[in-house]
Amino acid sequence: MGKLRTWRRLHSGDIIAEVKPVEGIGTWEASAWLVAEPSKVERAPRSFSMLTEAQSVADALATTAFGHQCTTTCGTWLARAR
């Protein structure tokens, strides 16, 4: 079995969208927060079975919670081992 991976995407240099696995369940949790205020986390109200769906929701959280609009300054989704 491979290592669980957390996925992150930087939006406009100051917002992080994150998708991480829920251990033992096989679903994904989506969230977003400001780099300057990592304690202010916006979380999706449910988990997702598909990674791409969770990533879309995390991007939407960055947009709705922090008034963000994606431009060319937004990064790509990058994985890191947990």
Question: Which tens digits make up the pLDDT trace of 31-52?
Answer: 999 999 989 899 999 999 999 9
Query: How high is the pLDDT of residue 30?
Result: 98
- Mean pLDDT per block of 10 residues along the chain (82 residues) reads 80 92 91 92 96 96 88 85 70
Tell me the whole-structure pTM to 2 decimals.
0.88
Q: Which residues of 14-23 are buried (b: 16+ CB within 10 A; e: fewer)?
A: ebbbbbbbee
| Domain, as residue range, for 31 | 5-77
Distance CA 23, CA 27 (A): 8
* Residue 41 falls inside a structural domain: yes
- Asked if 76 and 6 touch (Cβ cutoff 8 Å), the reply is no
**Do the domain assignments include residue 45?**
yes
Tell me what pLDDT residue 69 has: 83
pLDDT reported for residue 55: 97
Domains held by the chain: number: 1
